[in-house]
Every structure is written in structure tokens, then in C-alpha cells.
Structure 1
Amino acid sequence: MYQVRNITKDLVWVGASDRRLALFENIFPISRGVSYNAYVLHDEKTVLLDTVDASVSGQFFENLEKTLNGKTLDYLIVNHMEPDHCAMIGDIVSRYPGVKIVGNAKTFTMMEQFFTFPIEERKIVVKEGDTLETGAHKLHFVMAPMVHWPEAMVTYDEKDKVLFSADGFGTFGALNGNIFADEVNFDRDWLDDARRYYTNIVGKYGPSVQTLLKKAATLDIQMICPLHGPIWRENLGYILEKYQKWSTYEAEDKAVAIMYASMYGNTASAVDALAGKLAEKGVKNIAVYDVSNVDISTLIGEIFRVSHLVFACPTYNAGIYPVMSNLFHDMKALNVQNKTVALMENGTWAATTAKQMRAELEQLKNMTILEQQITIKSAMKDAQEAELWQMAEEIAKGVLA
């Protein structure tokens, strides 16, 4: 059964959701599934903006055929060549042999790598500032390299003031009938997944996102249509502000996230004691995570969100406990910066982790690492309570400032 929905008089959503996929990009858990958005613009010429992942191809083609209602497809605009959006290009060409494909030079280089159909005869190569008139609508093309692939671009409809933003402003989560952000409680139900999506998929490329945001600021945008998640037609400032913070690596919240690894519970006990003292100092926004049991994508999202971090773990084979070491690797890969950090280490015979964690963090930009660190030898004793209070005082001073 088809499921389409008008976005404007001329624009129709023809996407689909996958609730069976467990791992996005075979890495990131998506317990709420994911949507793949595609759009059809009806004008003197018909335009499809992006396709979908192969997993939802049946639903997509039902939707596409319904909205075209026997009309041919004149143009396919490819804003992003990642397979979860381009998988159906070959099928589109087979079903609509007269279709012209619009993309930039890098788009077609990648297309030739993915597909074997004759591309040259149907391609329209666009560059920054080029336009395509389809009748009443005039589409502008804006290059968005490394948001988050080098060929990425966005398309702006001058008539309806719609920005088709590719992977920008997307989020994990299947759409449940409500395709607009103003139809859901985005802050409660979607923000964490939007943050987790941005920080893990796009987070490394903050400067590239900043470049795109500056270009977007020159356009009169009244609606944002991403390739994943809800469409923005109201309160655009909300999501734009989030992207401004995330792409400049500025904390969303004055808050503390304590991330620990614990083999037998002693390090866990110590961080719980620290969390309690932070609460007594007046800190209300505290999150505590066992890095062995929480997916790393969630940890990265929280690291971007908060202003202050505590890392605590035992020494393992004379090095950093493996799951914590993996987290530091991801932090470096995703360009984490601008945080205040406190360190706790544990070791029965050789507590060396704090020094090694400090060395890892010093490779990141603008990280303030508190001089005071806590060393636990097997289990924290009452005699060290003053150290906990001192660390809590130092962290609280920054959070509550």
C-alpha cells in the first residue's frame, strides 16, 4: 500500500521507513529504525530528489508510481551518492529511460563506480550556483563537500523556499505517519537520536558544516527537507542552533558526563561516590555511563552534549582499559574538542592509566584537563574522600559558573 504525503502544493514525500534494520551503516544501533526520505516535485517537468536504500525499494516505488500517476519522470537530482540514498538509481533509469540525472562532477565519478548503466547520455553536471528551471520552480545547487562525503550538495527551491539538505539535519528513527518535526515532540523523542546521528556521522566535519551553514544563511529558507527523519517547516531556528553548536564543538549543556570502565565494581563505586558529591555541590545535570555496556555512538553523542567529562578506568595490560581506549580513538576520529576533563585511574599493582589518558586527550583541541587526578589502588578508601570532594568542587565550579 502506498504512503505519500504532500509537503507543499507541488512537493510530495515518497520516502519509506525501515524498522527491521538493527545497525545503521552496520555500526550504529537504531532501536527505533530509520527513515529514507525522497521527494517528488510536480511542475511542467517532474523531479525526483534522491532515491532510497534497497531495503525499502518496494514501498518507495509504490509511492513514486502513485504520485506520478502515469506521468514520466524528467529529472532525478542526486544530492548524495551514499548507497542508502542512491541504491535505486539503476532501477529508476530502467523504469524511466528518458530521465536526466542531475549531479556534480564528483557525483558522476562515484556513480560510475557503483553502477554499470550508460551514464554519459543522461547526465547533467552542475556546479556551485547553477540552476535548473522546471516550470514555475527554479532549483539552485549549492555544493556541500564533506557534509559528510566529498560529492555532497544541497538543492534550494526558490519558489517554495525549500532546502533539500541531503544528510544535513537528519536523524535516526523511523517516521510513524508524522513526517514533520512540528507534529512530534522533537525535544523529548528525537533530539538524542538527532545528536547521535550528527556527532557520529557528520561530527568530524564541523568546519565543512560551518561553511554550509554560512551559505544557507544567504537563502530565504522556510522549510528543510533532510534525507533522514522529520521535515522542518516551523521553528527552524531550533535545529539551526543545534547545528551551530555541534559544528563548532560547543557544549549544548552545562553538564557532567562520567564515563567509566570497571572490571570488578571498584571503579564504578568510586565514580558513584563522585557523582553523589557533585549532586551535593548543586550539579543537577549528571550522567554516568559504563563504557562496557553503552554503545559508543551514545557516548559520543553525550560527549558532544556536555561541557564537563570525567573518565575513570583501570590499567589493563599496562595500558588503558580496551573499551575506554576505543572511546578515545573515536573521540579523536570525530574531532572532539572544547571540553573540561577530570581523570580517575585504578590499579592493583601499576596504576598508569591517568597519564596515558591525559596523553590521548592532549592530542585533541582545546581540552582543559584538570591537574588534580585521583588514583585508586584496587578500591577507594575513606581516607580518599577529601580527594573526591576536591574534584567535585573543581568540576562544580565550572558547571555552575
Structure 2
Amino acid sequence: MSEIRYVGVFDRYISLFERQYPVEHGITYNSYVIFGERPVVVDSVDAAFALQWLTNVEKALEGRRPAALVCQHLEPDHSGSLRALLDRYPGMSLIVSSRAASMLPNFLDAEAYAGRLITVGEGDTYDLAGGSGLTFMMTPMVHWPEVMMTYLASEKTLFSADGFGSFGVPEFPQPCWADEAARYYFNIVGKFGPAVQTVLKKASGLDIERILPLHGPQLSGDALAEALRLYDLWSRYEPDREEDVLIAVASIYGNTYEAALELASELGQRARIVDLTKTDVSFAVAEAFRCRDIVLAAASYDGGVFPPMAAFLSRLAAKGWRNRRVAIVENGSWSPCAARAIESTLSTLKGIDIVGTATVTTRLDGESRRAVMALAGAF
């Protein structure tokens, strides 16, 4: 048996994760010490927290010296403090995937630590002594090419790198795990659904009672079962809110928004409105992936579509959004063109079924109101 102690850090004051995703409730950079006869540290943290992390590790070790540091993912928020721990414990090895070994010089002076590098591949193990060991599982493109996960059989625990991550730190009031996990997944990992499916197939052959991701809470029991269910749906680009209809609206003066409200009233509790002029696009992207049916409502602008909608569509395309039913509401005062611009982007995506289009010419009138209301029947 091996004891696992948490030595990660909480970033309570960060406003934008990766300089783009709002994180009102902060973010964790998770790291662990596994105790056997040969203690092992799993993952480091962002360089900004190197001193705090070193203190946490030293406190957990209680005077012992780690035999190795496992680096599952080289992204700077997880590799930023590698050098600090390597320098603190000169006898400690660094365990990385073969792809990570080739990338390592991009992140630190790899030659200085070359004699301490242990490169592992699929199914390789590291003996902790005392009858326990780590098994490494290569998980490329979840969400970088060098990523691996680590399984500790004696504790039925999978260290899942960025997989199953979420935003938030535990000391703040937390929204539903699925909501922030979805926003994390679809904006950071979601493009790589097939790679996630490969991970799930590999994991299904392991006896797992606990998952420890690099961001967010550990998952066990019912929370673990739900996370696995959602990841299976999400990585197959299937919605987990099949009855909901997302109305994503980009209105300049409020007339398009009025049309969206009328449609929402017709749809009732199924409707979920997101105002793209006020809501960060990361929230809208998550909603678009989670709902089966989507209404895109936008004003015409500069011969195309109002920029907040254009930005939303661009992000959806970049993340591989697909397999959805879409209705369009366009607005224009003299030559409406938003629908044409929206359709142009949608035509590049897989499995998009445009079920109807309604045109508003500045304000709703009897004819345009009927056209907008008719879209509810398409879903």
C-alpha cells in the first residue's frame, strides 16, 4: 500500500486562466507525493508558485528525499517548477514520456539533467518498492502530444494529467462540477475527442476508484461515475442536455435580442439564452457542446455578421463543434446578410443540420414574429 499526499497549490487571485478563460473561483495546480520505500512526486506547478510548492513537498516528505519526479505534461503551468525541485534534490530522477523527452529542451536546460532522465513508454512501470509501483499510460493529444497518465494499482488511483480537470479552488463556493468541468473540457481538451475516447478505452481495463487530475477536485464514488459518463458523451460530441435549446444572440440595439426572447418564451423551460455581447465566449462554447439544438441569432454587420457572433462561430469551429441542429435568426435594416455569413462557417463543420432561418428587418413585425416563432417547431 502507498500513501498519497496532496502538495499542490491554489491560485485564488488569477482572473484569466491561460490569459483567456475567466476563472472567478480560481484554479488549482495539483501535485502529489506518493509514499513507498521510494517516495515519488507527481507533477510540478506553475513557476509563480514554485516556492510555495517546494515548501509543501518538503513538509510532506518529513525529511525524506524523493526518488523521482513524474512529469505527465510539459505545459508551463505543470512544468514551471521542475527545475526548482530537480535542483533541490540532486539525486532525484525525472520520469517523462519519450515525446516529452524530445520536447524537454524547450522548457529547461535538459543537458544539465540528462543523466537523471528516465524515459517511459506505454505500459512501462516504476517500482516504488514495498510491493507497489506506477504504470504509465501514453495519452497523446489530451491535450498535448507528450501527455501521459499514471496508474497506481495498489490504491486504484489514476493520475489523469489535464483529463477530468475543472476550474475553481475548493475553498470558494463552487458551481456544479459538471458546469466548470464542461467549460474546461470543451475549451481546452474538447477538440481532441478521439484521443479522449482512446483514454477511456484504456481506462476501462483498469480497476479505478479515484481519479486525480491536474486541475480541480479528485473524483471518486458517484462523482467518478458521472465524470466517466460525461466524458464518454462529450468526447463523442454528443450532448448531455438533449432537451435544451441554446439561443446564442448577438444584438446591437436590442431588436435581435427581443426576437430571441420571444422564441425563448415559445420554447419555455427548454430555452437557455446566452448574450454573446455580455458573456465570455468560453461559457457559450460549453453550452453549445452540451445542447442538442442551437439557435444563432445575430445582426448583420459590415456585409457579414456582428463580430460577437463571428467570434463565437470561429471558436466553435476551432474546437471541432459538430453534429447539431441549428436554426438562424438574422436581422438587417436594408440588406440582411448575417444568415449567409453564419451558413458559410457552418458549411465547414461536420454534421450540422440547418433546420430553419428567420429574417427580421430591424424590428419584429407580424410576419417576422411568425417566422421566428415557427423555428420552435423545428426542434
TM-score using structure 2 length: 0.96
Map of 2:22 onto structure 1: 29
Uncovered stretches (5+) of structure 2, i.e. residues with no partner:
none
Query: In the alignment, is the contact (CA less than 8 A) between 1:147 and 1:209 conserved in 2?
Result: yes
Query: In the alignment, is the contact (CA less than 8 A) between 2:11 and 2:28 conserved in 1?
Result: yes
Query: In the alignment, is the contact (CA less than 8 A) between 1:131 and 1:140 conserved in 2?
Result: yes
The alpha-carbon distance between structure 1 residues 176 and 9, as it changes in their structure 2 partners (threshold 3 A), is farther
Distance 2:368 2:328 in 1: 15
Query: In the alignment, is the contact (CA less than 8 A) between 2:170 and 2:217 conserved in 1?
Result: yes
SS at 2:101's partner residue?
helix
Query: In the alignment, is the contact (CA less than 8 A) between 1:312 and 1:343 conserved in 2?
Result: yes
Map of 1:392 onto structure 2: 376
Query: In the alignment, is the contact (CA less than 8 A) between 1:112 and 1:119 conserved in 2?
Result: no
Map of 1:255 onto structure 2: 244
User: How much has 1:100 moved relative to structure 2?
Assistant: 0.3
- 1:139 corresponds to which of 129, 134, 141: 134
Identity value in percent: 38
Distance 1:285 1:74 in 2: 55
- 2:5 corresponds to which of 2, 12, 17: 12
- 2:149 corresponds to which of 154, 171, 180: 154
Map of 1:377 onto structure 2: 361
Verify: 1:364 aligned to 2:349, yes or no: yes
The alpha-carbon distance between structure 1 residues 109 and 200, as it changes in their structure 2 partners (threshold 3 A), is same
Distance 2:373 2:263 in 1: 8
SS at 1:159's partner residue?
helix
Distance 1:175 1:90 in 2: 28
* Aligned 1:163-202 pairs, distance under 5 A: 163-176=158-171, 188-202=175-189
SS at 1:198's partner residue?
helix
Distance 2:179 2:132 in 1: 35
Query: In the alignment, is the contact (CA less than 8 A) between 1:255 and 1:308 conserved in 2?
Result: yes
User: How much has 1:55 moved relative to structure 2?
Assistant: 2.5
Distance 1:368 1:168 in 2: 30
Distance 1:344 1:312 in 2: 4
User: How much has 1:233 moved relative to structure 2?
Assistant: 2.2
User: How much has 1:208 moved relative to structure 2?
Assistant: 0.5
Query: In the alignment, is the contact (CA less than 8 A) between 1:51 and 1:86 conserved in 2?
Result: yes
Distance 1:383 1:243 in 2: 43
Distance 1:373 1:227 in 2: 43
Verify: 1:125 aligned to 2:110, yes or no: no
User: How much has 1:9 moved relative to structure 2?
Assistant: 5.8
User: How much has 1:103 moved relative to structure 2?
Assistant: 0.7
Map of 1:399 onto structure 2: none
Verify: 1:318 aligned to 2:303, yes or no: yes
Query: In the alignment, is the contact (CA less than 8 A) between 1:100 and 1:124 conserved in 2?
Result: yes
Verify: 1:38 aligned to 2:31, yes or no: yes
- 2:58 corresponds to which of 58, 61, 65: 65
- What one-letter code is carried by the residue in structure 1 that aligns with 2:115? E
- What one-letter code is carried by the residue in structure 1 that aligns with 2:117? K
SS at 1:119's partner residue?
helix
- 2:278 corresponds to which of 293, 300, 303: 293
- 1:233 corresponds to which of 220, 228, 245: 220
Q: What is the alpha-carbon root mean square deviation over aligned residues?
A: 1.4
TM-score using structure 1 length: 0.91
SS at 2:353's partner residue?
strand
Distance 1:233 1:267 in 2: 45
Once the two structures are superposed, what CA deviation does each residue of 1:327-359 show, in whole Å capped at 9, x if it has no partner? 111111100011111001011111011122112
Once the two structures are superposed, what CA deviation does each residue of 1:288-314 show, in whole Å capped at 9, x if it has no partner? 111111101000010111111000111
Once the two structures are superposed, what CA deviation does each residue of 1:214-248 show, in whole Å capped at 9, x if it has no partner? 11111111110111110012122110001011111
